């Protein structure tokens, strides 16, 4: 690809550029392409899936026991289901997923104090998918499991006082779409408002605010590349500006894959509690489960935070589209809506009056549910009930793992690949307890300076387009990586996903990066006087 064409591709999202890089890499017939671009994990959490399909068989038997006619099952009975499930579990003892179901039943009864028959019937009816989701925001059993999961995984077992209201949604992307839309509809944000973005950040969060729907003015809160990708206090202090309405973050970050340190969290909490009580935060914490002792921003300033979590990465479930929005029951957003001008209140009363007799009493998260179906279709809102069963089982998988064995193994998968990559690259890998290691960002000019000196590093940035390295990597080496600059990482940096290829592929990727850099250097040496 020539420089002129590279300049054209620099204007599009790195996720779209990736498709072009795949095309370039596939032209190389002599070797197989290695695509470490998109972060789709190559593992599948098997135990909760075994439980899901085993429970599906039980539930079908429950329906067929109430058959209306041949081939037409009926609604399962609401009574006696727990005992029938125990009989099913005993009959299938030793099969995959059965012990998990037994432990789940015990957990619902002993830890959550749930009525066994009610719990089994809710699960049975939900996995059959024969009714609209009710409650539409989230089913009762899913709500209970996910709240425990959030307490354990997003709050390090130290949840704030009070409860989070939850909305089960179709993955993290749907969550963000719903949040942006409802904040605008409810006059919490307006076109032209100033928002802060913690960068580097997942590319769509750079792109969405610029759309005609929002037209936000963006202020960047920049992580320090040389400070383990943490936010310096001087960057967080930008949030003191009262014109900034909201802060959007990915934590741990994407593409740098590092979570906010406990010190940064304390600094942010102090700033909000003492100087910016009106500031609210939207935090996407999908990678939090890969960091031991992870604490979400929602755990430290719960009244000011909208939390988004997706089950896609940790459990290998991107195709399931499972996510949740969490907003504390006592939050500043509901208070902002309550103090809107009367003209705005009247407009919102008219908007939500078709779904509630007293729409002014609707919480923001309830308005989000209505907005997710354009209000008029509110009666069909809610995440598919079988999806909610799978989500509950994923949450239970973490809750029942008292020794944290699954977490250790999931973290070890990405850590092994991380270390393999850097070993082959011939470079010492960053080492911080806040690193999820799901991705890593390699600053190519910085690597060039370390290996060949500052003059060569300057030559790279002056004489080559920012995406030239990822283009050449695809064309010459058959390796597809993301352009880090598209995430607001340093220009000519690359994002490597440690999730989606076999372990040994990362040795090839590290070698390919190193070899390509040496080829650039060899060209440079030839033109030196």
Distance CA 269, CA 260 (A): 12
Q: Rounded to an integer, what distance in angstroms lies between the CA atom of residue 41 and that of residue 295?
A: 23
Q: What token pair was written down for 395?
A: 């949450």
140-398 has the same fold as 46-131 = no
pLDDT at 215 over 90: no
pLDDT of 140: 96
pLDDT digits (tens, 9 = 90+) for 296-338: 999 999 999 999 999 999 999 999 999 999 999 999 999 999 9
How far, rounded to the nearest angstrom, does the alpha carbon of residue 69 sit from its chain's CA centroid? 44
Identify the pLDDT of residue 3. 59
**pLDDT tens digits, 437-476:** 999 999 999 999 999 999 999 999 999 988 899 999 998 9
User: What CA–CA distance (Å, rounded) separates 470 from 520?
Assistant: 13
pLDDT at 322: 98
Give percent above pLDDT 90 in the chain. 82
- Domain range summary for the chain, segments of one domain joined by +: 3-39+405-526, 46-131, 140-398
Distance separating alpha carbons of residues 213 and 207, to the nearest angstrom: 11
- Angle separating helix axes 81-91 and 116-128, nearest 10 degrees: 70
Distance CA 494, CA 441 (A): 6
Cβ 197 vs Cβ 206: under 8 Å: yes
Fold of 46-131: Histone, subunit A (1.10.20)
Q: Please report which confidence band the pLDDT of residue 184 belongs to, taking 50, 70 and 90 as the band edges.
A: very high
Q: How far apart are CA 267 and CA 284, in angstroms?
A: 19
Torsion of CA 260, 45, 130, 145, to 10 degrees: -50
72: three-class secondary structure by DSSP? strand
pLDDT at 213 over 50: yes
Q: What is 3-39+405-526's CATH number, 3.30.565.10, 3.40.50.300, 3.40.190.10, 3.90.1150.10? A: 3.90.1150.10
> What's the rounded Cα separation, in Å, for the pair 473 and 481?
8
pLDDT, mean over the chain: 92
Please report the pLDDT score of residue 149 as a whole number: 98
Peptide bond into 520 cis (omega under 30): no
Instruction: Please report the pLDDT score of residue 9 as a whole number.
Output: 55
Residue 200 above 50 pLDDT?
yes
DSSP output for 209-253: GGSTTT-PEEEEEE-BGGGTTB--HHHHGGGG-TTEEEEEEESS-
Residues 489 and 206: their CA atoms lie apart, in Å, by 12
Query: CA 160 from chain center: how many Å?
Result: 22
Query: Is residue 32's pLDDT more than 60?
Result: no
Higher per-residue confidence, 35 vs 505: 505
Tell me the mean pLDDT in the region 271-289.
97
Per residue in 218-234, pLDDT (tens digit) is 999 999 999 999 999 99
26 pLDDT exceeds 50? Answer: yes
Q: Are 51 and 92 in contact (CB under 8 A)?
A: no
Find how far residue 185's CA is from the centre of its chain: 24
pLDDT of residue 162: 96
Query: Does the reported pTM lie above 0.95?
Result: no
Query: What local confidence, expressed as pLDDT, does residue 29 receive?
Result: 45
Residue 377 above 70 pLDDT? yes
**Average pLDDT estimate for 422-447:** 94
pLDDT of 7 over the 70 cut: no
Nearest to 235 by CA among 245, 209, 225: 225
Which of the four CATH numbers 3.30.530.80, 3.40.50.10800, 3.40.50.300, 3.40.640.10 does domain 140-398 have? Answer: 3.40.640.10
pLDDT in tens, 227-273: 999 999 999 999 999 999 999 999 999 999 999 999 999 999 999 99
**How many other β-carbons are positioned within 10 Å of the β-carbon of residue 528?**
8
Instruction: With a cut of 80, say whether residue 30 has pLDDT above it.
Output: no
Confidence (pLDDT) at 268: 98
Please check the confidence at residue 12 and state whether its pLDDT lies above 60: no
Question: What stretches of 223-341 show up as alpha helix (H) in DSSP?
Answer: 233-236, 262-274, 297-300, 332-338
pLDDT for residue 17 is more than 70? no
Q: What is the pLDDT of residue 21?
A: 65
**pLDDT value for 38:** 75
Return the DSSP state at 320. G
Rg, Å, the chain Cα set: 25
């Amino acid at each position: 690809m020539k420089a002129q064409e590279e300049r054209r591709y620099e204007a599009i999202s790195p996720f779209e550029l990736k498709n072009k890089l795949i095309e370039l890499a596939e032209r190389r017939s002599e070797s197989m392409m290695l695509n470490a671009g998109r972060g789709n994990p190559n593992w599948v959490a098997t135990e909760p899936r075994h439980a899901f399909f085993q429970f599906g068989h039980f539930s079908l038997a429950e329906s067929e026991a109430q058959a209306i006619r041949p081939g037409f099952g009926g609604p399962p009975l609401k009574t006696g289901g727990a005992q029938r499930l125990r009989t099913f579990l005993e009959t299938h003892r030793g099969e995959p997923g059965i012990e998990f179901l037994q432990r789940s039943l015990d957990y619902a009864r002993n830890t959550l104090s749930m009525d066994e028959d009610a719990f089994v019937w809710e699960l049975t009816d939900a996995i059959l998918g024969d009714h609209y989701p009710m409650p539409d925001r989230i089913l009762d059993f899913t709500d209970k499991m996910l709240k425990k999961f959030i307490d354990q995984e997003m709050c390090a077992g130290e949840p704030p006082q009070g409860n989070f209201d939850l909305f089960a949604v179709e993955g993290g992307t749907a969550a963000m779409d719903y949040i942006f839309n409802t904040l605008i509809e409810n006059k919490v944000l307006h076109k032209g408002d100033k928002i802060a973005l913690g960068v580097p950040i997942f590319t769509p969060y750079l792109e969405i605010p610029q759309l005609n729907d929002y037209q936000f003015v963006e202020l960047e809160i920049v992580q320090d590349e040389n400070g383990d990708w943490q936010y310096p206090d001087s960057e967080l202090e930008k949030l003191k500006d009262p014109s900034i309405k909201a802060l959007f973050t990915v934590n741990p970050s994407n593409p740098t894959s590092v979570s906010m340190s406990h010190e940064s969290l304390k600094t942010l909490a102090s700033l909000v509690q003492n100087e910016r009580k009106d500031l609210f935060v939207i935090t996407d914490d999908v990678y939090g489960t890969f960091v031991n002792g992870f604490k979400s921003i929602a755990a430290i300033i719960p009244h000011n935070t909208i939390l988004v979590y997706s089950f896609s990465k940790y459990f290998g479930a991107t195709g399931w589209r499972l996510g949740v929005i969490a907003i504390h029951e006592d939050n500043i957003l509901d208070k902002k809506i309550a103090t809107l001008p009367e003209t705005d209140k009247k407009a919102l009363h008219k908007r939500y009056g078709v779904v509630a007799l007293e729409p002014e009493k609707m919480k923001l998260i309830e308005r989000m549910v209505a907005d997710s179906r354009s209000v008029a279709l509110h009666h069909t809102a809610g995440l598919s009930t079988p999806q909610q069963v799978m989500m509950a089982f994923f949450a239970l998988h973490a809750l029942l793992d008292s020794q944290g064995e699954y977490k250790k193994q999931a973290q070890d998968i990405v850590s092994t690949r991380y270390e393999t990559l850097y070993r082959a690259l011939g470079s010492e890998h960053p080492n911080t307890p806040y690193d999820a290691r799901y991705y890593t960002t390699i600053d190519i000019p910085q690597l060039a300076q370390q290996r060949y000196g500052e003059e060569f590093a300057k030559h790279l940035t002056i004489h080559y387009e920012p995406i030239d390295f990822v283009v050449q990597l695809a064309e010459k080496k058959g390796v597809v990586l993301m352009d880090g600059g598209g995430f607001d990482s340093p220009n000519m940096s690359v994002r490597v996903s440690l999730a989606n290829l076999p372990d040994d592929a990362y040795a090839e990727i590290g070698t390919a990066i190193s070899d390509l850099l040496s080829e650039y250097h060899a060209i440079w040496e030839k033109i030196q006087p």
